[in-house]
């Protein structure tokens, strides 16, 4: 294993809710068990034990259909609080291996174990350690896929389920994927699979035989993703969420402000400061929030999600300004205005190549602004659009952080 070889694990608990119910009530063990609501209602299957799956019962299937397929199944209503406790304990086991854990759902997480070999051994040994700890400490089985990319790790995990560990060596991705049915490809659902089969594509290997030109001509953007996917290519990084969940900044005005241009200038300045803070912490965020406080001290907060996580002041400002324009009428006085970013992720996977040329230029510009600010203090440099300060903003709130 070379120093630069990337290793990613996808860890996914087997039939999680059903397994927890079996754990708490051993009499259920090995029986067809369905976690879900009343079959006479419109509820769906939350989780099914493998004994129930043998009858064709699947997650998200209507309960009425599930009980027709498996009338003898024991039905247990979901207890999400109980599952959440078990989930937290398992995620702790994963975070003891590496802090680079991206939890995807209550029972599933990616781990980036690149460089962990000195501490924990080879990728396979790390996988065995995780499985042993989850079994011994939580009496649950967890399946793992281990590979150089998230995409292949995910597919490897699915292939090995239940109670499996499948490791795909770097360079072996295409050979591993080729014989698999097209439904195994990440992002290919039933509709797309049927569509592909109409073109004679039944396996991932069939897909790999198509040229990129033909795939994109036939399927557009999806075609490009399929071309890369069929080769196991995926440069998505594991985004570990840190403890800190948001970064924000707010200003209390000396005099209540009701002028749009002045408010937007304040918003721009704060957006830049929030962005600089994100960059210092090597974080990106996906949710932009604004906070408005009125003269009667009532507070309104509004938020929106960006298409891409960012650490760029302009992107934060554009969203914050749109929120302000939607939620504030000119002439309405404000005592305080704030902007914040939540949904924070590690910025490690943030690559210049993903952005077009003008974005790249702006990113580089902001990085050099950060350097100047850190050398001369934040007052040393302002964007031209912040310059004519029609209002006097004082009492700049400290950057506040939740949790």
Give me the residues that bind Mg ion (CB under 5 A), please.
Answer: 12-13, 16, 107
Residue 391 CB, nearest approach to Mg ion (Å): 53
E-strand ranges in 260-348 read 283-293, 299-310, 334-346
Answer whether 185's CB lies under 8 Å from 155's CB. yes
Nearby residues of 118 by Cβ (< 8 Å), 6 or more positions away: none
What is the Cα–Cα distance from 109 to 91, expressed in whole angstroms?
Answer: 8
16 versus 253: smaller Cβ distance to Mg ion? 16
Q: First and final CA of the chain: distance in angstroms?
A: 38
Closest CA to 200 of 209, 187, 211: 209
Residue 8 CB, nearest approach to Mg ion (Å): 17
Residue 39 CB, nearest approach to Mg ion (Å): 23
101 versus 207: smaller Cβ distance to Mg ion? 101
22 versus 107: smaller Cβ distance to Mg ion? 107
Answer whether 185's CB lies under 8 Å from 229's CB. yes
Catalytic residue flag (residue 173): no
Q: Is 20 helix (H, G, I), strand (E, B) or coil?
A: helix
107 versus 250: smaller Cβ distance to Mg ion? 107
Pair of tokens at residue 360: 């790249």
Q: Is 1 helix (H, G, I), strand (E, B) or coil?
A: coil
Residue nearest Mg ion (C-beta atom) = 107
**Which entry of 21, 102, 108, 250 is annotated as an active-site residue?**
108
| C-alpha R_g of the chain | 26
Residue 157 CB, nearest approach to Mg ion (Å): 9
Closest CA to 114 of 159, 155, 141, 150: 150
Residue 266 CB, nearest approach to Mg ion (Å): 46
13 versus 74: smaller Cβ distance to Mg ion? 13
59 versus 149: smaller Cβ distance to Mg ion? 59
Q: Is 381 helix (H, G, I), strand (E, B) or coil?
A: coil
What is the Cα–Cα distance from 342 to 402, expressed in whole angstroms?
Answer: 9
Closest CA to 341 of 312, 369, 364, 366: 312
Closest CA to 228 of 179, 192, 177: 177
Residue 15 CB, nearest approach to Mg ion (Å): 7
Active site residues: 108
């Amino acid at each position: 294993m070379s120093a630069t070889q990337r290793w990613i694990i996808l860890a996914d608990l087997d039939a999680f809710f059903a397994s927890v119910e079996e754990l708490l009530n051993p009499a259920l063990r090995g029986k067809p068990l369905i976690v879900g609501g009343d079959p006479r209602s419109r509820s769906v299957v939350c989780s099914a034990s493998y004994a129930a799956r043998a009858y064709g019962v699947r997650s998200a299937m209507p309960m009425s259909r599930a009980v027709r397929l498996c009338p003898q199944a024991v039905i247990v209503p979901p207890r999400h609080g109980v599952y959440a406790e078990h989930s937290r304990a398992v995620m702790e086991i994963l975070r003891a291996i590496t802090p680079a854990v991206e939890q995807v759902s209550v029972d599933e997480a990616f781990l980036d174990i690149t460089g962990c070999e000195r501490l924990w051994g080879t990728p396979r040994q790390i996988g065995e350690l995780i499985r042993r700890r989850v079994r011994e400490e939580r009496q649950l089985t967890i399946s793992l896929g281990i590979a150089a990319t998230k995409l292949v790790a995910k597919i490897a995990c699915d292939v090995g389920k239940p109670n499996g560990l499948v490791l795909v060596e770097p360079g072996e991705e295409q050979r591993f994927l080729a014989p698999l049915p097209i439904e195994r490809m990440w992002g290919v659902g039933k509709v797309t699979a049927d569509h592909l089969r109409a073109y004679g594509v039944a396996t991932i290997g069939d897909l790999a035989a198509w040229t990129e030109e033909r795939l994109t001509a036939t399927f557009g953007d999806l075609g490009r993703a399929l071309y890369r996917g069929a080769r196991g290519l995926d440069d998505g990084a594991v985004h570990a969420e840190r403890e800190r969940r948001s970064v924000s900044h707010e200003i209390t005005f000396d005099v209540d402000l009701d002028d749009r241009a002045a408010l937007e200038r304040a918003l721009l300045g704060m957006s830049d400061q929030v962005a600089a803070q994100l960059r210092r912490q090597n974080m990106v965020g996906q949710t932009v929030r604004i906070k408005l406080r009125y003269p009667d001290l009532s507070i309104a907060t509004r938020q929106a999600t960006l298409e891409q996580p960012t650490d760029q002041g302009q992107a934060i400002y554009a969203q914050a300004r749109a929120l302000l324009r939607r939620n504030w009428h000119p002439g309405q006085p404000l005592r305080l205005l704030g902007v914040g970013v939540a949904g924070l992720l590690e910025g490690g996977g943030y690559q210049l190549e993903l952005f077009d040329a003008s974005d790249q230029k702006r990113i580089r510009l902001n990085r050099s602004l950060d350097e100047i600010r850190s050398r001369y203090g934040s007052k040393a440099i302002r964007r031209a659009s912040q310059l004519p300060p029609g209002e006097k903003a004082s009492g700049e709130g400290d950057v506040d952080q939740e949790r």
